[in-house]
Amino acid sequence: MNATATMPAMLPAKPLNGVERVAAILLSLGKESSSKLLRHFDQEEIRMITVTAAQLGTVASEELDKLAEEFIEQFSNGPALYGSANEVEKLLEGVLSEDQLSDIMSDVLGNSNRNIWDRLATVSETVFANYLTKEHPQTAALILTKIRPSAAAKVLGQISAPMRNQLVRRMLSIKAVVPEIMREVEKTMHEDFMLNLSGTLEADSYARMADILNKMDRDHMEDALDNLNEVRPKTAEMLKGLLFTFDDIVNLNARTRMAIFDQIPTDRIVMALKGTDGSFREVILSSLTSRSRRIAEHELAGGEPAAQRDVLEARSFITNLALEMAGRGEIDLNPKQDEGAYFA
């Protein structure tokens, strides 16, 4: 069977992204020609192309014509193309060893028939929660209804109460979604997690990398994130969501803040508060004992200048202490406010 199959006429043109364009061209070339090209890709590139091709679905002949003009001279107005896992497996036969083919096809077919939603249950709930907070609430709610209940519960536990309650309401009112949209959601989730996330770093590695960045000088951390954002914006966004900085202290509940500042000398707290605004300063001061607060307010009122380096070192000391306490299980850095806590 040829990689092209006759499909209904007048199919709407489907804009393709970079990997989809490569997959479409290889499928349209047929086994003999595409096999020669595939030998020039490494296994990870073949995996990405394979997964994309298997989910490609229908590509109208008009779109193939546009691709042809860019990558070769011109395609004739032939039949539309239909990408499927079966076509991809045939395409790779003879190009890869049986073990390599089996490995890649297990990813394409969902590894022992596990679909994308089952596989997402293995993603860190912290990473998953951070991802969903960047999505539209209706999309986030839909995703949560598709993954395992136990995984959804863990993810919801990492989301702030207002958004969590909104998502629960939306999940209750989710109606049937048309297959085309559902396939697009599944494809996006596969790319963002199974390819982009798992293909570079495991979910746990994100947490480890965030821990490293947290302990870097702020300028170095920001420079690293800015550089990463240029080449892998989604990766940078996920890491930012896992970082804990001095500015994040005001999002902690009052009990957690008190536990942190009880262990910090007042002079270091005063140094860290240099240059902060009134609302931020008040949240921190409210976490101190009466005596420490009076001393800190007196020192701050004096307006003594401080070197930026000293201020940043004091803030870094407080942040590192909070991270160490969280690592020992003494406090929880998730932004869950106690009833009656002070909001900045």
User: Rounded distance, CA 159 to CA 134, Å?
Assistant: 12
Over residues 220-249, mean pLDDT: 82
- If you average pLDDT over residues 54-60, what whole number do you get? 73
202: part of which helix (H) or strand (E)?
A: none
Q: Do 46 and 96 contact (CB within 8 A), yes or no?
A: yes
The residue that leads in pLDDT, 244 or 42, is: 244
Q: How far apart are CA 92 and CA 133, in angstroms?
A: 38
Give pLDDT, residue 54.
77
* Residue 284 pLDDT: 94
For residue 271, what are its two tokens? 């140094």
Say yes or no: do domains 116-195 and 246-327 share a fold: yes
Which residue has better confidence, 137 or 43?
Answer: 137
**Residue 197 pLDDT:** 52
* pLDDT number for residue 95: 55
Helix, strand and coil percent figures for the chain, each rounded to 5: 65, 5, 35
pLDDT in tens, 162-217: 899 999 999 988 888 887 788 888 878 877 776 555 444 445 566 667 777 777 77
- Average pLDDT (127-135) is 86
Instruction: Show the tokens assigned to 246.
Output: 């001095």
User: Considering only 76-80, 140-144, 252-256, 304-308, which range has the smallest mean pLDDT?
Assistant: 76-80
Instruction: Tell me which DSSP letter residue 192 carries.
Output: I
More confidently predicted of 178 and 14: 178
Q: Looking at residue 245, what is its pLDDT? A: 82
Task: Tell me the pLDDT of the chain averaged across its residues.
Answer: 75
- Domain parsing of the chain, residue ranges: 18-108, 116-195, 203-242, 246-327
Q: Specify the pLDDT at position 86.
A: 58
Contact assessment for residue 201 and residue 210, using Cβ atoms and an 8 Å cutoff = no
Sign of CA dihedral 310, 211, 196, 190: negative
The one-character DSSP state at 82 is E
- Label residue 87 by pLDDT band (50, 70, 90): low
For residue 20, the one-letter residue type is E
Answer whether 127's CB lies under 8 Å from 206's CB.
Answer: yes
**Residues 27 and 55 sit within 8 Å (Cβ to Cβ):** no
b/e per residue, 269-287, with b = 16+ CB within 10 A? Answer: bbbbbbebeeebbebbbeb
C-alpha distances (whole Å) from 170 to each of 139, 183, 189 are: 10, 20, 20
Tell me: the pLDDT tens digits for 265-274? Answer: 999 999 999 9
CB-hemisphere CA count at 13 Å for 335?
Answer: 21
Going by pLDDT thresholds of 50, 70 and 90, the confidence category of residue 66 is: confident
* Across 332-338, average pLDDT: 60
Query: What architecture (CATH level 2) is domain 116-195?
Result: Orthogonal Bundle (1.10)
Determine contact, residues 67/16, Cβ cutoff 8 Å. yes
Q: Residue 52 above 50 pLDDT? A: yes
Selected from 3.30.9.10, 2.102.10.10, 1.10.220.30, 2.40.160.10, the CATH number assigned to the domain covering 246-327 reads 1.10.220.30
pLDDT for position 79: 44
Residue-wise pLDDT tens digits, 148-167: 888 888 889 888 888 999 99
Which residues neighbour 170 within 8 Å (Cβ) at sequence distance 6 or greater? 137, 138, 140, 141
The predicted model gives 32-61 an average pLDDT of: 73
The pLDDT value given to residue 182:
83
